[in-house]
Amino acid sequence: MSKSTKSSKSGKLQRKNSPRCTNPPSQWPQAVWEKFYDQLEVKNRNRKGNPYWVKYPAPDDCPIDDLCCHRPPAGGSIGITIVHNGLEYNRPIFRMRLLLKCWKEGKLLNKADQASHLCPNNKGFICCNPEHMDPEPDKDNKARQRCPGWIWIHPYQGKEGGYWYPACTHGPPTCKVFTPKTKVPIKVAEDMAATTTTTTTTTTTTTTTTTNNNNNSNNNNNNNNNNVDNDKMSCSSTEEFLN
Ligand SMILES: [Zn+2]
Ligand SMILES: [Zn+2]
């Protein structure tokens, strides 16, 4: 708990910092929580007057209503520090916002819980929208990786498609990820190519059983396709403990 002066690489002394609090959040005074809440959620302004986080809207073809991610602005810090009674408290912004959400809800945190991301933005930039995270153990966090989420069902072998299918098997809460319409499964693309080169008649599906079977095979194709390029789709694994 005693860190007062840091030396930079050049050997010069940097500004004197307050000692850092090493207690877990469960032992923080209420005033610390309130200070974090005021800065991050009420004001969302740092000492320079800039926002800690800004909204990052979802693409147009997104099937999820509230998928608006939050991120630090360009050049902004990814962490937040407050000082209370001469002690410094700091956390990455995404983790602090999840902690604040749990604090507001009076939710007790398990020491092993991680900030598990439900949305796709856990790489490149880490989304800090508290509604896009859930405290989960490592096993559940990892299980969300490679989730295809909502899948657009394309027409296939004369069967109608044209709707979003919820393929996530995780949660609650379920993953907020989706496979874009532009991502056409290989078998569907082959089928499309074949139907444009032959004379076809359009048939309408009459039994629900047939429709479901077809959807399942369509989903499998989509899953396979998604695994090839799952960087954008994987929905969790910020493998850092909340405390
Ligand atoms: Zn997000
Ligand atoms: Zn999922």
What is the pLDDT tens value at each position of the chain, 243 positions in all?
A: 444 444 445 444 455 678 999 999 999 999 999 999 999 999 999 999 999 999 998 888 889 887 899 999 999 999 999 999 999 999 999 999 999 999 999 987 788 899 999 999 988 889 999 999 999 999 999 999 889 999 999 999 999 999 999 999 998 999 999 998 998 999 999 998 888 765 444 444 443 333 344 443 333 333 333 333 333 333 344 444 565
- So what's the pLDDT on residue 198? 59
Nearest ligand to the CA of 66 is 1
Give the Å distance between the CA of 55 and the centre of ligand 2.
Answer: 23
Nearest ligand to the CA of 56 is 1
- So what's the pLDDT on residue 124? 82
C-alpha to C-alpha distance for 40 and 220, rounded to whole angstroms: 42
Give the Å distance between the CA of 85 and the centre of ligand 1.
Answer: 34
Q: Report yes or no: 109 and 99 within 8 Å, Cβ to Cβ.
A: yes
Give the Å distance between the CA of 240 and the centre of ligand 2.
Answer: 19
- So what's the pLDDT on residue 243? 54
- So what's the pLDDT on residue 117? 95
Local structure of residue 144 (DSSP, 8 states): T
Give the Å distance between the CA of 110 and the centre of ligand 1.
Answer: 23
Give the Å distance between the CA of 83 and the centre of ligand 1.
Answer: 28
> Buried b / exposed e across 193-219, counting CB within 10 Å, b at 16+?
eeeeeeeeeeeeeeeeeeeeebbeebb
- Report helix, strand or coil for 85: coil
